[in-house]
A and B are shown apart, each in its own frame.
Chain A
Amino acid sequence: MEYFRQIESRIDQGIGRRRLGYVVLGLVILFFLWFPNDTSQSNYAKTVFISGFFYAIMSSSWALLAGIAGQFSFGHMAFMGIGAYAAGLIARDGIVFAMLGIAITPESFSALGAIIIGTLVAGLVGLVIGWLLLRLRAAYLALFTIAFSELFRIMMLTEYDYTGGSNGLSLRPLLQIADVDTARQVEYYLMFALLIVCLLAMHWVANSPIGLFLRAMREDEDAASALGVNVVRYKILIFVFTSMIVGLAGAIFYSDVGSERIIPEQLEVLQMSLIIAYAVIGGMESLIGAAAGAFISRYLLEAMREVVITLPFGLTTADGGDAFVWETGAWRFALFGVVMVFTLRYMRNGLLYPFITWFSGRDLAMKETVSKRKDDDDYADAPLEADDE
């Protein structure tokens, strides 16, 4: 009896926390909806937020691909680039089906049409690459996708007659609003809506049976396969799905929403590594954690550019200068790397994981089941508090 009462109280506690979690989430969303109406904020702040949303999409979709499905791809930025370049090239040159003698002129594509085609192309390439990657695991997969994205970048850079080279390629503008303030406002809401839609779609996938299969495959592919999971189908599916999401995000972001033009430098390994680092810091296995990680990390990196730390506080040297001046601008990436390494080592699920578990009440449930199972297994002297590492 005592036991059930205990469980009951824990369930209540969990439900309470979860409700609180929804309230916090709702408040965050409300804040983002309200933010552009704050007249004290400059357009620059909105610009930072818009690119923050974009990187949040990139990081959270990478978390879905790598964290949940276990497909450790470094080619995520390349798929984004494929979406953007395909949209741009099609809106500029149209399509020619030489064999059929049909040519579709660029004029027949609206900006939206080009974006849709860009998304589809990214998905199609994702299909091919996903199929090629079936046999590769972990390190090999990472290496292959690095090679793929480098090849893509070099091609975009070198074939400048078609792609604009390092000048970049302008896409057909999606929104043509003359007034800068209104334009920024609309772009902000568009990108935020895209983030919410992408997160919902990915959340749905991750929590559907597909997500369950993916997790099972991540843990043990052979076992999952033996239990009747169609490994090939789900692996390719998740690759196509995330490729399309980033392709869409890229095509929209570079259609003059967040940026005017896509440049090959955007596809460098460094950019990809930042996406990965954001996801790691936020939490690789949580979509919202990765998205928040990207947003917060970008904000902090931005803030650290011009911070000057003067130590010791208030003390000066004989000639009146500060005893020790440390400009974080040059060190910010090094610090960021340190944070990433320590997060990986000591907070495997990301710095935001404690908050997420607390709000979801998952820690209560976990303790309960673990200690219960241990009791069942006759571990009489096992500690009640399970080591969750």
Chain B
Amino acid sequence: MKRKTILICLIALLAIMPMGMAQADGHCEFADYTITIGGLAPLSAPGAVAGGVAMDWAFNQAADDINADCGVQIDGVNYMLDVVTGDSEGSPERGQAVTERLIQEDGVDAMVGVYHSAVGLATMGMLEANAIPTVFSEPWNDNVSANGILEYDGAPPRFADGIDHIFRISPASSMVGSVVVDWLLSLGVEDVVLIVENTDYGQPAAADEAERFEAAGATVTKIDVELGTEDFVPILSRIQARAEAPDVIRILVTGETSFNLTQQMSELGIAPSEDTICVTNQIAFQSDQYWATVPDGNYCAFNRVGIIPSLFSEAAAELNGKYEEAWGDLIPSFAMASYDAVYIVKDAMERAGSYDDAAAIVGAIEAVDIELSQGRYYFAYGAHNPDLPEGTPEFMWHQWPDPIVTVMQYYEPGQSGLEAAVVYPEVYQTHGTSYIVPGTTP
């Protein structure tokens, strides 16, 4: 008897699945049709959950803001906008399946998002085949926007006709790597230690940076670590035992693993120190999390992708305010880009005068010229301007050329990311110096 009751309860628990979508009520008259945009973000492990959650927030915030402003206006009709977020779990297989579902079951008119490059690469074929206008907002792999890549890691040719529907507003990893390397080389470093996570983010980025350093004559030591490792003291002691301290330790590790590594590095006095520059991961910009977990991380530099705080436009500051209210921390670049991506699609639909004519929307995205939170968006090379000049890398196709990549540095403990010094490139310098020596203030 007892068992039966419990069984019934269990079944009832599983069966309770009433659907209830929160509808934004408003002052606008909306058409019956709701435009659906698919978002792709990692919302559960083993993906980068923290990143995915922020992206999901940005998609929904953008949709709410657009709907509060009477939605997408096409030929005088207001359409409500809905973003359906699919959980990629950071795995290419899942990413593909979810994309397929978004296209076939949710009938999305466009796609935005993607965090992991592997997911981006895996879904491109499907997006092309189904002619879905897509704006990627975070994958960095160079190949994501390369025109007509014929082969991806042994897979059969897929994009013989080139990439028609996919755009990217995040930087290609070559664009990011070059800024940090140029900065370090301008400081005259010769002995570089790269600590790299063994993932599809870390390894290609490290290979790229190592190549650049070596081309400039610096020696590079690469150290692989596994994500999720907590105790790095043994391997850091090994660095410390070298006869000469390295000039720079560059951390290409994400998430809490990066925080642990940076904190232990500074506790042991390896870096930042008089001899060694500490360059940590870009998540250090999220200053609340950074200082909570890396209390000794003062004077660490990090690269910042996306607009720098001193250049925050009104829109960017407003968005950052909303994010801080929701999560109590500064907005990461990929949330900003994800927010903008939704707006780019909305803008293109309005100008194309259609929400389902893929060719017209793609044409409109290629011709985009709009000022959003990260700055002015435009695409230099696409069907409207198909010939890449000699020497321009392949990935510039359908690539926003201007994502700002800077190097920032904290110089006071507990400092907000908004106040950290921008040290490179020189045009964006806020404190008139390319490097703040530990122990000083600019």
Which A residues have a C-beta under 8 Å from some C-beta of B? 42-45, 47-48, 51, 92, 154, 157-158, 160, 164-168, 170, 173, 176, 180, 258-261, 263, 265-266, 268, 270, 300, 303-310, 313, 320-322, 325, 329, 333, 335, 339, 342-343, 346-347, 351, 354
Contact = CB atoms under 8 A, between A and B. Distances in A.
A300 B46 contact: no
Given A44-B104, A303-B17, A304-B17, 20 more contacts: A43-B104, A44-B97, A47-B96, A51-B97, A165-B203, A166-B118, A167-B153, A167-B203, A258-B93, A259-B92, A260-B93, A260-B96, A260-B122, A260-B155, A270-B45, A307-B19, A308-B20, A342-B10, A346-B6, A354-B7
A42 B203 contact: no
Interface string B401-435: 00000000000000000000000000000000000
B432 to A, nearest CB: 41
B100 A42 contact: yes
Contacts of B92: 168, 259-261, 263
B170 to A, nearest CB: 19
A44 B108 CA distance: 14
B3 interface: yes
A280 to B, nearest CB: 13
25 contacts: A42-B105, A43-B100, A44-B97, A44-B103, A47-B97, A48-B97, A154-B226, A157-B198, A158-B198, A164-B153, A165-B200, A166-B203, A167-B153, A167-B203, A260-B155, A261-B93, A263-B91, A300-B14, A306-B84, A308-B21, A309-B18, A309-B20, A325-B22, A339-B13, A342-B10
Contacts of B226: 154, 157-158
Interface string B113-130: 000001000100000010
Contacts of B43: 329
B376 interface: no
A67 to B, nearest CB: 20
Contacts of A335: 13
Given A42-B101, A168-B118, A307-B17, A265 B91 contact: yes
B296 interface: no
Interface string B24-63: 0100000000000000000111100000000000000000
Nearest to B104: A42
A329 to B, nearest CB: 7
Contacts of B19: 307-308
A44 B226 CA distance: 33
B162 to A, nearest CB: 18
A320 B97 contact: no
The 3 closest A-B pairs by CB, nearest first: A42-B104, A44-B101, A310-B20
A265 B46 contact: yes
B154 interface: yes
Contacts of B224: 158
Nearest to A303: B17
A329 B46 CA distance: 15
A309 B16 contact: yes
A54 to B, nearest CB: 11
B18 A313 contact: yes
Interface of B: 2-3, 6-7, 10, 13-14, 16-22, 25, 43-46, 84, 87, 90-93, 96-97, 100-101, 103-105, 118, 122, 129, 153-156, 198-200, 203, 224, 226
B3 A346 contact: yes
Contacts of A321: 22
A329 B16 CA distance: 14
Contacts of B22: 308, 310, 321-322, 325
Contacts of A168: 92, 118
A228 B22 CA distance: 67
Max chain A Cβ within 10 angstroms of own Cβ: one of B6, B18, B20: B20
Nearest to A47: B97
Contacts of B153: 164, 167, 170
Contacts of B105: 42, 44-45
A343 B156 CA distance: 46
A164 to B, nearest CB: 8
Contacts of A305: 87
A270 B45 CA distance: 9
Given A160-B203, A347-B7, A320 B16 contact: no
A354 B100 CA distance: 37
B94 to A, nearest CB: 9
A44 B100 CA distance: 6
Given A265-B90, A320-B25, A342-B10, A165 B100 contact: no
A269 to B, nearest CB: 11
Given A165-B200, A308-B19, A347 B91 contact: no
Given A170-B154, A335-B13, A339-B10, A160 B198 contact: yes
A173 B156 contact: yes
A260 B93 CA distance: 7
A47 B100 contact: yes
Contacts of B129: 180
A167 B200 contact: yes
A320 B25 CA distance: 10
A307 B153 CA distance: 37
Contact of A351 (B7, B21, B87): B7
Nearest to B20: A310
A263 B198 CA distance: 12
B377 to A, nearest CB: 30
A306 B22 CA distance: 13
Contacts of A268: 46
A44 B87 CA distance: 14
A246 to B, nearest CB: 17
Contacts of A47: 96-97, 100-101
Contacts of A266: 91
Nearest to B53: A330
A180 to B, nearest CB: 7
B20 A322 contact: yes
Contacts of B84: 306
Contacts of A170: 153-155
B118 A167 contact: yes
A170 B154 CA distance: 7
A261 B6 CA distance: 41
Nearest to B118: A167
A310 B18 contact: yes
A48 B96 CA distance: 11
A166 B205 CA distance: 14
